[in-house]
């Protein structure tokens, strides 16, 4: 998660340019209520004031970070190592723990910052990913000096981050091994990798071994260090949520600016955005919060090009400028129009344009259904799988073998975050079923959460099903639009696990990730169905055992049923052309 933070907070103008100079005090002591001392770097203008303070608390090290644009815009910036991380005292308590001191530390830091020399008493918090998690922990305690926050790209629930009863081994093991445990080892004087650079090199050399390690609950102490008991507890119960950030939103009194991407693993439900608008304790938080959703993953936010895909010049957004404008309104009282911007600014892919919306999901969306059908040969794009607008009259089925020893490989970036990709490298695999429309005669915009009603049988007692919505261009580019998955044992809810009866047809309702995509004339709408996406998600072992405690891998024969009695279909939230709002950039 640290890559995103760097991309958002280290875009700096040289300190010696402009009217204001930047002065930095390093490792300033910040006492907590329990006597532990945390350390912060304080970046301030060299003259003038008083100024508001912006606070970032991070587990990823404050060292070397620069905040020149914020300082030159008239802000004091406090960047603090979180408890137990780098220069700060105490024991780090990771976010897999149900209870941590993060909220109290955040409160104490905000109030300490409000009393800094040259501060006007108003504080904002900012940062993305884990740094945003720390903000959502702090805000419900209502520090008196906290006025606004810009908490980017974090979901309400840990089960939204990892998946419904699953884990994301690619990113998560990389995160622990390369980013988190080296500092813990260094603090405790133990051998092994002790810097992030060493951790990254270790991961680069050993990634495949760690990813295919089984079972995950037996990963050695070096992977998680002091947090091992808490991680192991969660691995034994991956359906549980140690976060529940949305449960305390009704105590929050300050507005939030959120930025997230359509491929961000935090976009699953946008639950925090919806909750703060309906349940926050203050009208300012309910009506003042804003959200920008762009064509990005968890990395590369604000850019026009993600991986090999270019979403055009409109996709590029100066997110530092957006944050300065946000805080200028709330912390300085500038009449810069922030209060008149739309609640949501969404990027409509395909059109590659921004559009303002008053709420999410869009109330004017109309459900359009496409049914899956074939002549029994839906494997690969050259097969006979089709998406049709009329319910098929004949029953049919398509089968494939899911082998967890040879899972469908994830197509993502080097940081192992999900990003938009061209799916053509997977087109020859026989364990992906492909259903697609004829070339479209007119534009169809899909904005919202697509929903798949899947009728499937399996030779296994538990397995996974993945569905991927894809935009196929006339030149063959197959750009993924939205992803959804279900772990069969949790089909009735994470609190009601139940095995499936082998070879019996079971109905699965799969809510896909939020998206906004215009399928243009000549393009095809395509739905892929498979059973793996590794290492973006862990491999289902196809057994009834808790797979995080068990190393047995079995093949499974999967059958997708369609037609009368087992009508597999996808429901698309389509925006009628007459209801389109004006298109504009986020400003």
Q: H or E element: which one contains 102?
A: helix 102-114
43 DSSP β-pair partners:
24, 77
Question: Could you tell me if 463 and 488 are in contact, meaning their C-beta atoms sit under 8 angstroms apart?
Answer: yes
Task: Tally the C-alpha atoms within 13 A of residue 296's C-alpha that lie toward its C-beta.
Answer: 25
For residue 92, give the 3-state DSSP assignment. Answer: coil
- The packing angle between helices 2-9 and 130-138, to 10°, is 80
Bond preceding residue 215 cis, omega within 30 of 0: yes
Q: How far apart are CA 172 and CA 536, in angstroms?
A: 9
Q: Of 264, 398, 431, 462, which one is the catalytic site residue?
A: 264
Q: How far apart are CA 326 and CA 152, in angstroms?
A: 13
Q: Which residues of 279-299 are buried (b: 16+ CB within 10 A; e: fewer)?
A: bbbeebbbebbbbbbbbbbbb
537 DSSP β-pair partners:
none
Q: How far apart are CA 411 and CA 424, in angstroms?
A: 10
Q: Is 3 a catalytic residue?
A: no
Residue 53: how many CB atoms within 10 A of its CB?
A: 27
Q: Tell me the CA end-to-end span of the chain in Å, nearest whole number.
A: 27
For residue 426, give the 3-state DSSP assignment. Answer: helix
**Exposure of 254 by Cβ count < 10 A (0-12 exposed, 13-18 middle, 19+ buried)?**
buried
Q: How far apart are CA 160 and CA 154, in angstroms?
A: 9
Please give the DSSP secondary-structure letter assigned to residue 256: B
Q: Is 298 a catalytic residue?
A: yes
Show Cβ contacts of residue 59 under 8 Å, excluding neighbours closer than 6 positions: 81, 82, 85, 92, 130, 180
Q: How far apart are CA 180 and CA 1, in angstroms?
A: 10
Widest distance between CA atoms in the chain: 78
Q: How far apart are CA 501 and CA 296, in angstroms?
A: 39
Q: Is 458 a catalytic residue?
A: no
Question: Could you tell me if 254 and 148 are in contact, meaning their C-beta atoms sit under 8 angstroms apart?
Answer: yes
Distance of CA 442 to CAs 135, 182, 232, 329, 520, Å?
44, 54, 51, 42, 7
Q: Of 269, 298, 412, 541, which one is the catalytic site residue?
A: 298
Nearest by Cα to 118 from 174, 175, 162, 77: 77
CA 356 to chain centre: 22
For 185-234, the DSSP string reads: HHHHT-SS--SHHHHHHHHHHHHHHHHT-S-GGG--HHHHGGGHHHHHHH
Q: Of 88, 129, 457, 516, which one is the catalytic site residue?
A: 129
Q: How far apart are CA 553 and CA 212, in angstroms?
A: 11
Residues catalogued as catalytic: 129, 264, 298
């Amino acid at each position: 998660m640290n890559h995103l933070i760097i991309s958002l907070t280290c875009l700096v103008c040289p300190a010696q340019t402009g009217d204001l100079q930047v002065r930095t005090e390093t490792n300033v002591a910040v006492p907590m209520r329990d006597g532990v001392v945390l350390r912060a770097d304080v970046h301030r203008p060299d003259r003038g004031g008083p100024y508001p303070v912006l606070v970032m608390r991070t587990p990823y090290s404050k060292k070397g970070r620069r905040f020149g644009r914020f300082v030159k815009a008239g802000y004091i910036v406090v960047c603090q190592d979180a408890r137990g991380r780098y220069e700060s005292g105490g024991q780090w308590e990771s976010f897999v723990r149900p209870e941590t001191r993060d909220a109290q530390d955040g409160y104490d830091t905000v109030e300490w910052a409000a009393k800094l020399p040259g501060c006007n008493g108003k504080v904002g918090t900012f940062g993305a990913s884990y740094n945003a998690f720390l903000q959502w922990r702090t805000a419900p305690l209502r520090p008196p000096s906290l006025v606004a926050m810009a908490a980017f790209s974090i979901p309400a629930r840990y089960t939204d981050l990892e998946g419904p009863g699953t884990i994301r081994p690619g990113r998560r093991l990389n995160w622990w091994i390369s980013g988190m445990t080296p500092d813990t080892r260094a603090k405790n004087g133990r051998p092994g990798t002790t810097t992030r650079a060493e951790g990254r090199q270790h991961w680069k050399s050993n990634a495949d071994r760690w990813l295919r390690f089984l079972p995950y609950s037996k990963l050695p102490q070096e992977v998680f260090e002091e947090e091992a008991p808490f991680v192991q507890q969660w691995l034994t119960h991956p359906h549980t949520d140690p976060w529940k950030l949305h449960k305390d939103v009704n105590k929050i009194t300050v507005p939030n600016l959120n930025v997230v991407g359509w491929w961000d693993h935090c976009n699953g439900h946008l639950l925090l955005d919806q909750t703060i608008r309906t349940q926050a304790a203050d009208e300012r938080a309910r009506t003042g919060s804003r959200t920008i959703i762009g064509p990005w993953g968890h990395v590369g936010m604000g850019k026009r090009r993600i991986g090999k895909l270019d979403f055009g010049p409109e996709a590029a957004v100066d997110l530092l400028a957006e944050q300065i404008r946000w805080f200028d309104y709330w912390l300085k009282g500038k009449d810069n129009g922030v209060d008149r911007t739309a609640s949501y600014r969404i990027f409509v892919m395909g059109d590659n344009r921004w559009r303002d919306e008053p709420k999410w999901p869009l109330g004017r969306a109309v459900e359009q259904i496409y049914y899956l059908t074939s002549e029994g040969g839906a494997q690969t794009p050259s097969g006979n799988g089709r998406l049709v607008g009329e319910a098929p009259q004949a029953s049919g089925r398509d089968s494939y073998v899911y082998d967890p020893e040879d899972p469908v490989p994830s197509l993502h970036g080097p940081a192992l975050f999900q990003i938009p990709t061209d799916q053509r490298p997977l087109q020859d695999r026989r364990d992906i079923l492909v259903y697609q429309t004829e070339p479209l005669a007119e534009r169809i915009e899909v904005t919202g959460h697509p929903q798949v009603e899947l009728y499937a049988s399996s030779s296994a007692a538990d397995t996974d099903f993945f569905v991927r919505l894809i935009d196929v261009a006339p030149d063959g580019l197959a750009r993924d639009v939205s992803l959804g998955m279900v772990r069969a044992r949790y089909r009735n809810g994470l609190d009601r696990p139940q095995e499936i009866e082998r070879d019996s047809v079971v109905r699965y309702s799969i809510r896909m990730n939020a998206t906004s995509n215009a399928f243009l004339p000549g393009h095809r709408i395509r739905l892929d169905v498979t059973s793996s996406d590794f290492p973006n998600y862990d491999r289902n072992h196809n057994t009834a055992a808790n797979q995080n405690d068990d190393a047995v891998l079995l093949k499974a024969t999967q059958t997708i049923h369609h037609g009368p009695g087992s009508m597999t279909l996808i429901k698309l939230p389509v925006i009628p052309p007459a209801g389109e709002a004006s298109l504009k950039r986020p400003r």
